[in-house]
Amino acid sequence: MPTSGGERGCAQCSIPAPPARSGENRTMPGAGDRGKAPARWLGTGLLGLFLLPVTLSLEVSVGKATDIYAVNGTEILLPCTFSSCFGFEDLHFRWTYNSSDAFRVLIEGTVKNEKSDPKVTLKDDDRITLVGSTKEKMNNISIVLRDLEFSDTGKYTCHVKNPKENNLQHHATIFLQVVDKLEEVDNTVTLIILAVVGGVIGLLILILLIKKLIIFILKKTREKKKECLVSSSGNDNTENGLPGSKAEEKPPSKV
């Protein structure tokens, strides 16, 4: 049915919006993001504070050489040190041996505090001796294995657990290879390379010194030539009686 002009204008002005989809939030873009950025920053900061103690906490090391060789029948030192930024109390440590066909705990012990030496609570092999000390911040729990046998070849792992850091654990592994005799390393090629490199460097230094000497001599020669030219020019002016020279002036002739 036809509508009046007023009704037609009202119908055109008040066009209903399409219904919102289920779960759709019709907030303005950016209206809810203002509070999210600080929340994200706060979360990142709390995560960093949580991870900081972990990155600065217990560490265990067996040195730079993780593969070592020893001769059958001799003894070998298996090094192990630990560190903790938070200190330690009733720290627990142990050495384990692991090969392709065997696994066993070699030695086990505790350290009461930083002023106490390690106390062995279990030792599986009489050939093993604890030689480390934890006094004076050495934090050393190294062991010596005597009367080596070929069957001693394998992985030796130093484990440390610190109750003061919520029983945080860390370990480091060293591989021992027992051999009949140590092979002598032939350093001939290395020595030749070092000699060649040293000779080249020495030659370059000699060339630079000779170059500087030649430049110095040429500079002095130019200075001498320049002095000679200035001196000879002064003498010529004096002899020719030019203005400014030291030639004797003749008295004016009488009329």
pLDDT digits (tens, 9 = 90+) for 1-46: 444 444 444 444 444 445 555 444 444 444 455 555 555 555 544 4
What global pTM score does this model have? Answer: 0.53
Give the Cα separation of 208 and 110 in Å (integer): 64
pLDDT digits (tens, 9 = 90+) for 62-100: 988 889 999 999 999 999 999 888 888 899 999 999 988
Q: Give the E-state strand segments of 7-66 in sequence order.
A: 59-61
Give the Cα separation of 69 and 7 in Å (integer): 101
Give the Cα separation of 71 and 56 in Å (integer): 38
Give the Cα separation of 140 and 6 in Å (integer): 96
Residues 82/102, Cβ–Cβ less than 8 Å: no
pLDDT digits (tens, 9 = 90+) for 170-196: 999 999 999 998 777 667 888 889 899
Structure tokens at 108: 């086990």
Q: Average pLDDT of the chain? A: 77
Predicted pLDDT of residue 37: 52
Q: Single out the residue of 102, 101, 122 nearest to residue 110, CA to CA.
A: 122
Predicted pLDDT of residue 79: 94
